[in-house]
Amino acid sequence: MSERDSPELPDFSVLKRLARDQLIYLLEQLPGKKDLFIEADLMSPLDRIANVSTLKQHEVDKLYKVEYKPVVSTSDQLCFLIRPRIQTVKWVCDVVNADKAAGKFKRYKIIFTPQKFYACETVLEEQGIFGDVSTDEWAFYLLPLDEDIINLELPEFFRDNFLEGDQRWVRTGGSALHLFHSIYGPFSKVYGIGRCSKMVYESWREQVKEGEQKARQAEVGTVFLIDRDVDFVTPLCSQVVYEGLVDDIFRIKCGCVEFGPDVTSSDKSIKVMLNSQDKVFNEIRNEHFSNVFGFLSQKARNLQTAYDKRRGMDIKQMKTFVSEELKGLKQEHRLLSLHIGASESMMKKKTKQDFQELLKTEHSLLEGFEIRECISFIEEHINRQVSMIESLRLLCLLSLTENGESNQFSNNLNSAWPCQSYGVDHLLTFANLKQLGLLVEQQPGETLTVMESKMGKLVNDKTAGKLTDAFSSLAKKSNFRALSRRLSLVPKSDEEYDLRVPRDMAYIFSGAYIPLSCKLIEQVLERDGWTGLEEVTRLLNGHEFAVTGSNGADLRPQSDAQRIILVMFLGGCTFSEISALRFLGRERGYKFIVLTTAITNSARLIEAMLDNHV
């Protein structure tokens, strides 16, 4: 397909300003000097939208991190900026009750973000301080991380929704979408797949119905909602595109990464913002890691040449050079050495852990090839007590791609050996992985058919059908192999794949696999709906939808707004998926905006399931 000019992305800086203004307003609701306690995981998001002088301007005296310890503040006004979590609210209650017992009288305010929950207010009530503490909501839903990434910064969305079955964040998702819609909409098309996506869509629709909407020119016209549990395989794979790899190894936090001494080749660490503002990073972030070295060294040579121009310059030329070019060169120099350092450090780490062999195993699993070898690789990982997260990740990948059928090779793999190597405490972790469907214990296929046929004899057809549905959702079959065939997710391995000139989204996994999530998006956009994908949606357990709005929204498919597509990932997305979408956008003349509840990767996904702690 021929490349088209991609449309311009809307400006998201307004979202930051909005969030800041709201926070200021809330701070002013507690006039006078006050100390501010901030929940640890809200600090980075706050960093992105405000700074100390903003807070000082509004009479914040001292800043503290919420640490679940007694408070040392001497201020007579305390403000708590927290997530709506029972544990945190209980701590606030302790603080207030301790003050009361000591005969201190202070004013307290809790600002919940992005919203408050009844369960939290119940805690205040139960602890006898309802009324002593005023509460507010800071509707800080959308944090732009980059020109095409907006983050809700709610990593717990994943576990709460998919593991615990708690729908507390559904409305939050709807509200986030609503906020986006009211600024950049109106949307004219919404596609989606997944139970949570449907609920979020409904919540959003209700909120649109309740509110008012100005007639305006849409900047973003198409939306795609997708649940993380539609595709667990993709986030469980090792990332090999630069940005994803940096995230896997150094953990990018809220768009910022901390490079240690091994990268900076000095004795201190530095924090670096990774986004499109960083010119060097912007050129390599979506590249397969194997291309990055070549690119960086070419860049370094160019830089050298640019510096070398100085030689033989006269004073006047030198003056122009210094005033016009030198600063840029120095900046580029700094960035280059940083990313070269990071690449070297990543190479070292990966060589040490036999990355090549690990990737080979992953690719075999995706391809369904040499499974026995894969299993012994995983087995050895476990036996040698190599990183637990890594072992669990591979086990889940095996279970998902083989749909639990690998058990015929080894029935000690799914808990006995991991328990021996990593501790029996992980029984609870295993229960979680099974509950989520990441680990399947026995062949559900057989068990189900037996159940169904038994049931089928007892009840009439209609009920039997319902039962089948219920069972299939229970078993959470992954059907990966069938999906992979139907959507051609695994390119033929006998063909050479040139990673420098990627031909499809598979390049983000070294040409071994096209991410299922992104492939679905591609297919639905291409078909303008789910028509022709019936078998695929059946294999994904349904819950797909495609709806069209009216209201004079711009429906011409060629218009810019229609070619800017908001993809909302419920439960998180990886940098690799974002890279794949950017690639798809370049190929098809779209621009994708990713709205995600959090940036995830395999380690975060598995860590969210760990339950070996109090």
Partner 1 sequence: MMKSKADEEDYWNSSKFKAFTFDDEDDEFTKLKESRQAVNSICGLVEEEEDEDEVEKVSWSGEPVGSISWSVRETASSLREQSFPKIDTTPSLPKNSSGYSLSSLFKGKEGEREMMDCADYVSDWSPEETVHRMQQGKAVSLEKFRSLQEKLLLLDEAVGVHDGNVITAVLIYLKKSLSKEVLFRELESRQTALRHFIHYLTESKEQRLLLELYRALGRTEDEALLQYKEHLRITDENKRRDFLKSCVSLPFSPEDAGHVQDHYTLLERQIIIEAETGGKVEIFQKFPRRASILNMPLITTLYYCCFYHYAETEGTYSSPANIRQTFRIAEKQYFVTALAARAKLKAWHDVDALFTSRNWLGFTRKKSPLSFSRVADILSKNNAPVQVLQEYVGLVDDVELRVALAQKYKCHFIVISTYRDLKDRQLLLGYRGKVERGSEEERKIDELLSNPQIRWKN
Choose the binding region for partner 1 from 238-246, 418-426, 507-515, 576-584 (rule: CB under 8 A): 418-426
In sequence order, the 6+-apart residues with CB closer than 8 A to the CB of 340 are 296, 300
The DSSP H or E segment spanning 77 is strand 77-82
117: left (phi over 0), alpha (psi -120 to 50) or beta: beta
Choose the binding region for partner 1 from 99-107, 185-193, 501-509, 514-522 (rule: CB under 8 A): 185-193
Choose the binding region for partner 1 from 167-175, 335-343, 511-519, 583-591 (rule: CB under 8 A): 167-175
Extended beta strands in 219-356, E state: 222-227, 256-259, 270-273
CB of 332 to partner 1, least distance (A): 18
CB of 507 to partner 1, least distance (A): 29
Both tokens of residue 237? 């794979």
Choose the binding region for partner 1 from 84-92, 101-109, 291-299, 337-345 (rule: CB under 8 A): 84-92
Which of residues 322 and 470 has its CB atom nearest to partner 1 in the complex? Answer: 470
**Which position among 4, 33, 51, 261 is part of the footprint of partner 1 (CB under 8 A)?**
51
Instruction: Please return the burial class of 54, using the count of CB atoms within 10 Å of its CB with bins 0-12, 13-18 and 19+.
Output: middle
**Residue 95 lies near partner 1 (rule: CB under 8 A):** no
| CA pseudo-torsion sign 587, 588, 591, 596 | negative
The DSSP secondary-structure symbol of 167 reads -
**Which position among 456, 491, 542, 589 is part of the footprint of partner 1 (CB under 8 A)?**
542
**Which position among 368, 546, 554, 588 is part of the footprint of partner 1 (CB under 8 A)?**
546
Instruction: Please return the burial class of 303, using the count of CB atoms within 10 Å of its CB with bins 0-12, 13-18 and 19+.
Output: middle
Binders of partner 1: how many residues, by CB under 8 A?
134
CB of 473 to partner 1, least distance (A): 7
CB of 506 to partner 1, least distance (A): 27
What are the angstrom distances between the C-alpha of 30 and each of 25, 58, 135? 9, 10, 11
**Which position among 32, 104, 128, 166 is part of the footprint of partner 1 (CB under 8 A)?**
166
**Which position among 368, 491, 549, 589 is part of the footprint of partner 1 (CB under 8 A)?**
549
Which of residues 129 and 190 has its CB atom nearest to partner 1 in the complex? Answer: 190
Q: Which amino acid is at 469?
A: D
427 HSE (CA, 13 A, CB side): 2
Choose the binding region for partner 1 from 45-53, 313-321, 454-462, 514-522 (rule: CB under 8 A): 45-53
Binding positions for partner 1, 246-305, rule CB under 8 A? 251, 253, 256, 258, 271, 273
**Residue 608 lies near partner 1 (rule: CB under 8 A):** yes
CB of 307 to partner 1, least distance (A): 26
CB of 386 to partner 1, least distance (A): 11
Which of residues 202 and 526 has its CB atom nearest to partner 1 in the complex? Answer: 202
**Residue 482 lies near partner 1 (rule: CB under 8 A):** no
CB of 116 to partner 1, least distance (A): 8
In sequence order, the 6+-apart residues with CB closer than 8 A to the CB of 339 are 280, 281, 284, 292, 296
Strand-pair category, 189-193 with 544-548: antiparallel
CB of 187 to partner 1, least distance (A): 8
Which of residues 63 and 347 has its CB atom nearest to partner 1 in the complex? Answer: 63
| CA pseudo-torsion sign 510, 515, 521, 523 | positive
**Residue 190 lies near partner 1 (rule: CB under 8 A):** yes
Q: Is residue 235 reached through a cis peptide bond, with omega within 30 degrees of 0 on the bond before it?
A: no
Binding positions for partner 1, 100-159, rule CB under 8 A? 115-119, 122-123, 137, 139, 141, 155-156, 159
| CA pseudo-torsion sign 225, 229, 230, 231 | positive
Q: Which residues pair with 259 in a beta bridge?
A: 270
Both tokens of residue 530? 């789910």
Both tokens of residue 532? 């022709």
Q: Which residues pair with 135 in a beta bridge?
A: 110
CB of 161 to partner 1, least distance (A): 8
**Which position among 544, 566, 573, 602 is part of the footprint of partner 1 (CB under 8 A)?**
544
32: left (phi over 0), alpha (psi -120 to 50) or beta: left
**Which position among 319, 466, 500, 503 is part of the footprint of partner 1 (CB under 8 A)?**
466
**Residue 389 lies near partner 1 (rule: CB under 8 A):** no
CB of 60 to partner 1, least distance (A): 9
Dist CA 275 CA 330 (whole Å):
19
The DSSP secondary-structure symbol of 34 reads E
**Residue 369 lies near partner 1 (rule: CB under 8 A):** no
Nearest CA to 429 among 229, 614, 613, 612? Answer: 612
Q: Which residues pair with 566 in a beta bridge?
A: 223, 593
In sequence order, the 6+-apart residues with CB closer than 8 A to the CB of 325 are 306
**Residue 49 lies near partner 1 (rule: CB under 8 A):** yes
**Which position among 195, 299, 363, 591 is part of the footprint of partner 1 (CB under 8 A)?**
195
**Which position among 171, 288, 477, 563 is part of the footprint of partner 1 (CB under 8 A)?**
171
Dist CA 2 CA 206 (whole Å):
40
CB of 311 to partner 1, least distance (A): 34
**Residue 199 lies near partner 1 (rule: CB under 8 A):** yes
- Window 22-41: contact mask with partner 1 (x via CB under 8 A): x-xx--x----------xxx
